[in-house]
A = this chain, B = another copy of it.
């Protein structure tokens, strides 16, 4: 595995691989790798000749009151994990390398941002879309891998690729879950022991919603009420939101049809968990 820190070197290495007809799988991350990232790397490894992992904590996507400085970083651990996942190139640029001057252009996301987690993070997805645009031009991937855990990010990047005609295939990878259904997350360790048991209700409530839809329920308000009731009855968590939208457009629905996302966020004592299911209604 080669660690690459400059854009110029990275582009040259990629162009050399592409000139030999090699396919490029790309997994963008902010580092501090967890099992979700390794699942993406594993999938990329199976489907491409060359695997590129980027580690870059992107200041552009943090709000002024957010935890950019405190965001966890452990490059040596990440490097070892990347090596064990048979990554070919680890792209690890500095902030100065990625943003050498005050940028004259940025990507502005005009849709899909004012719902779910985005409503409380103005400008966040502009920062995500801008850095991903840069990465796509630097890595020129055949396929780019994103986890469905952050379904809104997938929706925004789907829009970015489609609207800008970026020649890359987006691979949205299913949420990895514990045996009891809890979506895996680095943050789960911050659940208190009783909360950890209760937290299984998040996915259970989504499954219950799915079952109700299968039985013919098409009213989003009824589904949302049902989920809130299940979570309220069976956990001490405080619901941040339960929302249903068309996917990937993230538009409100009066009646459930087409592909939809049911997404929720629940606050526990020291941690806020998110989960979602995306389902197609025939």
Contact = CB atoms under 8 A, between A and B. Distances in A.
Contacts of A134: 163-165
Contacts of A194: none
Interface string A117-144: 0000000000001000110011010000
A137 B166 contact: yes
B106 A105 contact: no
B102 A106 contact: no
Contacts of A7: 165
B110 A107 contact: no
A104 B137 contact: no
A159 interface: yes
Contacts of A162: 104
21 contacts: A11-B167, A102-B111, A103-B110, A103-B159, A103-B163, A104-B159, A104-B163, A105-B109, A105-B111, A105-B129, A105-B160, A105-B164, A106-B107, A106-B108, A106-B110, A108-B108, A133-B133, A134-B163, A134-B164, A137-B164, A137-B166
Given A105-B159, A134-B165, A137-B164, 6 more contacts: A11-B167, A19-B21, A102-B111, A104-B110, A104-B112, A104-B163
Which 9 A-B pairs have CB atoms at the shortest separation, nearest pair first?
A: A104-B159, A104-B111, A103-B163, A108-B108, A137-B165, A105-B163, A137-B166, A138-B165, A134-B165
Interface of A: 7, 11, 15, 19, 21, 102-112, 129, 133-134, 137-138, 140, 156, 159-160, 162-167
